[in-house]
Structure 1
Amino acid sequence: MREPATVLVVEDERELAALFADWLSDSYDVRTAYSAAAALDELDEDVNVVLLDRRLPEQSGDDVLAEVRERDLDCQVAMVTAVDPDFDALELGFDTYVVKPVERDELEDLVKQLLARSLYNDDVQEYFALASKRATIETTKSAAELADDDRYQRLCDEIRELRSRLDQRVADLDEEDFLAVFHDLQTGDGATSN
């Protein structure tokens, strides 16, 4: 029997953190932290998904995210915040960005998607994270603003380059390799659970 995945909810509004934990606790081992310091104390190799608010007392969620990446923890990070994304978000190492309010179904789907992504190799995970950043910023900026921002243009270039590499890897698979990969995806063989 597999142990449930661990989700760390980092939210300074205690009632909201408790609500998120309640929504997810039937399916996951849920930890909560109400500050950046508490979040960093809770972070370890058992955490699979972090739901991270950007606005935290004393230290920002951006700082927590930087520490997650610095520690090289193998977890997916969703910024779940009331802060509308701006171009500065393109420089952050999140896997996806969601603006509150968040409904229960949306939060459950978000965690499922992030756990599914964690099974892919690093390049595919990076592709999803970059595509998510692009989609996030495209919802808040005009075409002219996007065209004028060098960070956005670099992001698009990175996505094209990574997509090209991934497409080439798929093209290099022979039929037997492709069928084996497809079979593994269907059965879950080769997928490890933390």
Structure 2
Amino acid sequence: MGANSRHPSDGASVLIVEDERDLAELYDTWLSDSYETEVAYSGTEAQERFDEGRHEVVLLDRWLPDISGDEVLETIRDREPNGKVAMLTGVSPDFDVIEMEVDSYVLKPVTRDELRELVDRLRHLAEYQRDVQELYPLIAKRTVLESEKTADELAVSEEFATLTDQIATKKERSRASIEATDNEDVRTLLKGEPPRKPREHDR
């Protein structure tokens, strides 16, 4: 494997940005039977390889050895504001994730099925109404914060309160679009309220 992997003719194009080579090649193996995949092992390489006309989904590590994933994200957004980007990282999110222009924030480790489902959900987002595309990343950010922050931390965060209000408003406005969504995983996330996994010091 490497920077150029198997390229199914009918698959979406996925750019994998991961500096740990074994992990990058594992992701490549998991995805390349269904998607056209390309791997970048550094932030600089990702900036060079990203093609706004070809890469539908970017899986982006936040902690890279040369430049940060945040900087790579800025480059991607400058070139393709509507591209689908997931932070796939070992860096636990703080409340600054709310302002990040990512469609999903996923903590390592992930399984093969989780990774493939993530790419599939992000691909389908582009097919939906704008209100659904705007709602999805808000709920994804709320979900990861609820899994990583304590109840007390969430309760005193003005950023989280604002996020919750935004979700409520957009869900009400997007009700018809959510019902029309034909991807079960996306619809479940948009409609549901995933239970917060308690942290040890919550108990």
Q: TM-score range by the shorter chain?
A: 0.7 to 0.9
Which deviates more, 25-34 or 91-100? Answer: 91-100
Letter in 2 for 1:126: E
Tell me the alpha carbon deviations over residues 105-162 of structure 1, each in whole angstroms, 9 at most, x when there is no partner: 1111111111122211222011011000001101111222112111111111211221
Q: Percent identity, aligned pairs only? A: 45
Give the Å deviation of 1:4. Answer: 1.4
Whether the aligned pair in 1 keeps the contact of 2:77 and 2:83 (CA below 8 Å) is no
Rg larger for? 1
Distance, in Å, in 1 between the alignment partners of 2:82 and 2:10 is 17
**1:43 maps to 2:50:** yes
Residue 147 of structure 2 corresponds to 139
2:63 alignment partner in structure 1: 55
CA distance in 2, matches of 1:25, 1:72: 23
Q: Partners in 1 of 2:83 and 2:37 — Cα distance?
A: 14
1:9 corresponding residue in structure 2: 16
Aligned to 1:28: 35
Q: Which residue pairs with 1:121 in the alignment?
A: 129
Moved over 6 A (4+): none
* AA aligned opposite 2:70: D
Pick aligned residue for 1:65 from 63, 68, 73: 73
Q: Kindly report the root-mean-square deviation, in angstroms, between the aligned alpha carbons of the 2 structures.
A: 2.1
Unaligned runs of 5+ in 2: 1-8, 184-203
**Could you tell me which residue of structure 1 aligns to residue 95 of structure 2?**
87
Separation in structure 1 between the aligned mates of residue 34 and residue 168 of structure 2, nearest angstrom: 36
Q: Distance in 2 between matches of 1:112 and 1:7?
A: 11
Partners of 2:60 and 2:86 within 8 A in 1: yes
Partner of 2:169: 161
Structure 2 Cα separation of the partners of residues 21 and 43 of structure 1:
16
Q: What SS is found at the alignment partner of 1:139? A: helix
* TM-score for both structures, normalised by structure 1: 0.82
Please list the CA deviations of residues 78-114 of structure 1 after superposition, one character each: whole Å capped at 9, or x if unmatched: 1111111111211211111111111111111111111
1:71, distance to aligned residue in structure 2 (A):
2.0
Counterpart pick for 1:19 among 9, 13, 26: 26
The structural deviation recorded for 1:51 is: 0.6
Structure-1 separation of matches of 2:124 and 2:76:
19
Shift, 1:64, TM fit: 1.1
